[in-house]
Amino acid sequence: MLPALGNFFIYQAVWFIAVTDGNRGIPLCCLLLLLHLLFSNRKLLDIVTMAAFIVVGVIVDGTLSRLGLFSFREPGLILPLWLMIIWLALGITPHHSLAWMKNRPITCSVFGSIGGPAAYWAGIKFGAAVFHWPLTVSLFTLAVTWSLVWPLVMYYSIWLEERFHKKST
């Protein structure tokens, strides 16, 4: 079983490697995600959640990118591959290191409104992307977006977990 702290560090490592190394860091990021799955006691649940987060990432970041909020240093069909890896990695957190947020929608909303913009701004500072809107407008847009997105994805993770629990009993 993977402790929550291990899950947290794997997510953070994937985020950092993907943001700083871009597509060159994908093999190491994939290795870290496989390491998580190796030690996870919820492998299938994690994989399904990861797949759902890719879809959410394409919708959220794809839309924000198309609206002109930001662009990335490496192109992608819809999103750069390194960003999709970050979304995969984010998908390993709801059932592990961020499970404490489940059933706390206000906490999720506050967490999203702070953590979301902070992650994007850090990515901008590392040179992974560029904001095209004024900084305050960009951060406000991300805060509003993530104050809605994070509670929804956490609710979805609860729903998924309940479905998996019913199938296993």
Whole-prediction pTM value? 0.94
pLDDT of residue 116 exceeding 90:
yes
pLDDT of residue 117 exceeding 80:
yes
Q: What's the pLDDT tens digit per position in 35-74?
A: 999 999 999 999 999 999 999 999 999 999 999 999 999 9
pLDDT of residue 168 exceeding 70:
no
DSSP helix/strand/coil, 67: coil
Q: How far apart are CA 75 and CA 61, in angstroms?
A: 13
Q: Which sequence spans correspond to the domains of the chain?
A: 4-168
Taking the CB of residue 72, how many other CB atoms lie within 10 A of it?
17
pLDDT of residue 165 exceeding 90:
no
With b for 16 or more beta-carbon neighbours within 10 A and e for fewer, the 103-139 pattern comes to eeeeebbebbbeebbebbbebbeeebbebeeeeeebb
Least confident window among 71-75, 86-90, 130-134, 144-148: 71-75
What is the predicted pLDDT for the residue at 169? 60
What is the predicted pLDDT for the residue at 111? 97
pLDDT of residue 2 exceeding 80:
no
Q: How far apart are CA 15 and CA 7, in angstroms?
A: 12
